[in-house]
């Protein structure tokens, strides 16, 4: 076994996994370990945020953390190494695999290059010496003749004999190589990723690592001047610029604006909403309904022993009313397959609940909600909302939804025009419940009233079908005994 092979087996690298379905990147939110910490197989080492949720990642090795390749707040592509672990720390000091292999590859390249008389470099073999010879140019009248070029070895010998003072060292070029070399700046993939995230061109960085390799410190150093204050010599101009708006009455808008990168849940939400709004033709219908009886039932259920310990609220009965109405109109529960030009009718209902979280809007769903009893639905609804607010919703919980409810009433809003969750056929907006004058049994009375809004995919659902579904939901909420007679 070679030294490089043994070293590679000792230092195990953990790559960013695909924690969802087809996700391509994730942002590192928090590291729970640092280099030098001992870790065990299955221990959570970091928390990452995907386009769907925040997920904790366990390490599959025992050992000591050798290196964290990325800092917190950095977005990393799936398949990129994020942490390396020394699985045999008692074997003594050793270098990471990349550090061992680089000199060996360079030495090998040098050995292979020497027989051809070419200079060895990290990538390739450099330029081959020219085999052509040119005749000396005839000197032009009045123009001094140029000396013939000499070899580097001969020139060095001549310099040693004729120049008593040593020549000044040649500064490295801005691209991280010597002034006479050319090519791509040398840097490891994590360093290139860091430079890309910070907007730094590697070609402008002077390397400090061995063999002209650009390090993370080099990138941070290059980024620091862009954030540093202006030099004292520029202070008068800065002061003049600051005074100019007051004198001219023009306000610099950029100084009062903030730019935040679009990523994580916000990025996923934006992409999903744009895709849905410009793919599925939306139709939204509204209905205002007296829910006084439903609100009384909520209070009665809170005292029911079978609902003890469960969260009972109006949303629970709206969800149950939606499920009962879907049972009466099962053709609503479908999806449009654009690729195959088919309508997929689903014999199950995965009920999505739009939840506002600190990281943005997510829509986890209750699997097979249509076959659950009211206590079971209440338990799952409570767990779903609590998990979402804690930011612990798994990607699996946010896939496979068929229809969704969004409770805009908790914000005091009467209703809205909700946008479909991609791949779903309908979404119901539940507005605020308010006391309003209402004609009840021939008299105007104060009743608890709400407005429902149903958006549906018009490719799947005609206006008649959508209207019947919404009317049935309202009918159940108006007379909740229909939960029994229709359910």
Q: What residues are annotated to the active site?
A: 458
What interhelical angle do 463-478 and 292-302 show, nearest 10? 50
Pairing relation of β-strands 403-406 and 351-353?
parallel
Distance (Å, whole) CA 157 – CA 164:
12
CA atoms within 13 A on the CB side of 309: 5
Beta carbons within 8 Å of 38's beta carbon, 6+ residues apart: 63, 64, 65
Q: How far is CA 109 from CA 122, 304, 476, in A?
A: 7, 80, 79
Total residue length of the chain: 487
Long-range Cβ contact pairs of 364-372 (< 8 A, separation 24 or more): 364/388, 364/393, 364/397, 364/398, 365/397, 365/398, 365/400, 365/401, 365/402, 365/404, 367/400, 369/319, 369/323, 370/323, 370/326, 370/327
Distance (Å, whole) CA 420 – CA 427:
6
Q: Provide the greatest CA pair distance for the chain.
A: 119
Nearest C-alpha neighbor of 359 from the set 52, 90, 71, 95: 52
The secondary structure of 241-304 as a DSSP string is HHHHHHHH----GGGG-------HHHHHHHHHHHHHHTTS-EEEEEEEEE-HHHHHHHHHHHT-
Which tokens hold the place of 332? 């609503």
Residue appearing with tokens 């009965």? 317
């Amino acid at each position: 076994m070679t030294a490089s092979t043994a070293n590679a087996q000792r230092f195990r690298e953990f790559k960013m996994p695909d924690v969802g379905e087809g996700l391509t990147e994730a942002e590192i939110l928090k590291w729970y370990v640092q280099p030098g910490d001992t870790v065990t197989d299955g221990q959570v080492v970091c928390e990452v945020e995907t386009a769907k949720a925040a997920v904790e990642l366990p390490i599959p090795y025992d050992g000591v953390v050798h290196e964290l390749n990325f800092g917190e707040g950095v977005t990393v592509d799936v398949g990129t190494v994020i942490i390396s672990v020394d699985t045999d720390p008692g074997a003594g000091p050793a270098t990471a695999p990349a550090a061992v292999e680089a000199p060996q590859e360079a030495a090998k390249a040098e050995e292979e290059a020497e027989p051809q008389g070419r200079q060895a470099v990290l990538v390739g073999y450099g330029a081959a010496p020219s085999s052509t010879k040119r005749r000396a140019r005839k000197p032009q009248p009045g123009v001094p003749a140029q000396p013939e070029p000499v070899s580097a070895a001969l020139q060095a010998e001549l310099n040693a004999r004729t120049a008593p003072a040593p020549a000044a060292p040649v500064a490295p070029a801005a691209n991280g190589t010597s002034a006479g070399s050319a090519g791509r700046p040398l840097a490891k993939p994590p360093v290139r990723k860091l430079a890309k995230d910070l907007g730094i061109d590697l070609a402008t960085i002077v390397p400090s690592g061995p063999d002209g390799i650009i390090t993370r410190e080099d990138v941070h150093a290059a980024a620091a001047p862009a954030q540093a204050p202006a030099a004292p010599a520029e202070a008068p101009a800065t002061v003049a610029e600051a005074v100019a708006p007051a004198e001219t009455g023009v306000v610099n808008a950029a100084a009062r604006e903030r730019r935040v990168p679009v990523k994580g849940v916000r990025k996923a939400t934006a992409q999903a909403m744009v895709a849905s709004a410009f793919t599925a033709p939306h139709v939204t219908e509204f209905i205002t309904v007296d829910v006084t009886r439903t609100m009384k039932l909520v209070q009665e259920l809170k005292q029911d022993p079978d609902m003890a310990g469960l969260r009972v609220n109006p949303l629970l009965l709206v969800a149950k009313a939606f499920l009962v109405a879907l049972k009466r109109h099962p053709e609503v529960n479908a999806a449009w397959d654009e690729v195959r030009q088919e309508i997929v009718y689903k014999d199950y209902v995965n009920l999505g609940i739009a939840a506002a979280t600190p990281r943005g809007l997510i829509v986890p769903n209750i699997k097979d909600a249509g076959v659950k009893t009211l206590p079971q639905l209440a338990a799952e609804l409570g767990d779903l909302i609590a998990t979402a607010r804690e930011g612990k919703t798994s990607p699996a919980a946010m896939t496979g939804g068929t229809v969704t409810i969004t409770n805009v009433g908790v914000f005091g809003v009467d209703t809205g025009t909700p946008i479909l969750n991609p791949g779903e056929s309908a979404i119901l907006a539940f507005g605020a419940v308010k006391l309003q004058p209402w004609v009840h049994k021939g008299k105007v009375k104060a009743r608890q009233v709400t407005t429902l809004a149903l958006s549906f995919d018009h490719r799947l659902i005609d206006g008649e079908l959508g209207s019947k579904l919404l009317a049935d939901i309202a009918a159940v909420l108006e007379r909740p005994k229909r939960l029994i007679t229709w359910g």
